[in-house]
Amino acid sequence: MARLVLITGAAGNLGRAVAEVFVRNGDTVALLGRSRESLARVYGAEDAQHLFVAADLLQPQALQEALRELASRGGGVEVLCNLAGGFSMGETVHATPAADWQLMHDLNVRTLLHAVQAVVPGMVARGHGKVVNVGANAALRGAALMGAYAAAKSQVLRLTESMAAELREHGINVNCVLPSIIDTPENRAAMPKADPARWVTPRQLAEVIAFLASDAAGAVHGAGIPVVGLS
């Protein structure tokens, strides 16, 4: 039976790859982006398997309203893929401005929190669901000039573990992937001397996300799975 899969950050490179894998598997994807125009540029027009959800993840009330409208069209969300996030190199920890700490927290933590606050209660009521978060391999250890990003992604991993402990008895699996550098046009442009063959492709990461959202991963709770290619 087809499930309704909500994908945040759906207009990005990884979002497109994740959507393709779930649609290939027969699911319906609800594609969440900041605007319908940004989604249309990537996916074209809506159809029966591609539903557009325009909302700002940092505006929880607007997000709740958008998801209520989605429920009227597609039913309850059975799989939540939290892809939205952001990265930037920073300063040394002692020199990082407060605004930079807040930006990394907003993009990587608050977006996730608002999405799960909007979606998970419905999963609890139905007694089943899958949540897959996108962390980062950087969550496992600090690195120079990456303190704000590493701290934010570490929160994603700890939140994943906490949610898994809270929700497993409700029939809900919560796990996350921890990718290294993803092979995107933006990363190739930013690192022209690097070898992208050593990076992780969006499709490779999408396949792991789809596995964690499958019945085959029903016994997996609170995992942070490194997906690092050859890097």
Residues in the chain: 231
pLDDT, tens digit (0-9, with 9 covering 90-100), for 45-97: 999 999 999 999 999 999 999 999 999 998 999 999 999 999 999 999 999 99
Could you tell me where the DSSP H helices lie in the chain? 13-24, 36-43, 60-74, 98-105, 111-126, 147-167, 185-190, 202-212
For residue 221, the surrounding DSSP H or E stretch is: none
| pLDDT attached to residue 1 | 81
Domain boundary assignment for the chain: 4-179+201-224
Q: Which of 22, 43, 87, 149 is catalytic?
A: 149
Closest to 3 (Cα-Cα) out of 220, 210, 221, 224: 210
| pLDDT attached to residue 116 | 98
| pLDDT attached to residue 150 | 97
Structural contact between residues 80 and 6, judged by C-beta atoms closer than 8 angstroms: yes
Residue 43 known to be catalytic: no
Looking at the DSSP bridge assignments, the partners of residue 133 are 82, 176
Separation CA 185–CA 202 (nearest Å): 11
Separation CA 68–CA 165 (nearest Å): 27
Torsion of CA 37, 41, 46, 52, to 10 degrees: -50
Q: Does domain 4-179+201-224 have CATH number 2.60.40.10?
A: no
- Write the DSSP symbol of residue 177: E
Burial 181-192 (b: 16+ CB within 10 A, else e): bbbbeeeeeeee
Q: Residue-wise pLDDT tens for the chain (231 aa)?
A: 899 999 999 999 999 999 999 999 999 999 999 999 999 999 999 999 999 999 999 999 999 999 999 999 989 999 999 999 999 999 999 999 999 999 999 999 999 999 999 999 999 999 999 999 999 999 999 999 999 999 999 999 999 999 999 999 999 999 999 999 999 999 999 999 999 999 999 999 999 999 999 999 999 999 999 999 998
Looking at the DSSP bridge assignments, the partners of residue 8 are 32
| pLDDT attached to residue 74 | 86
| pLDDT attached to residue 5 | 98
| pLDDT attached to residue 231 | 85
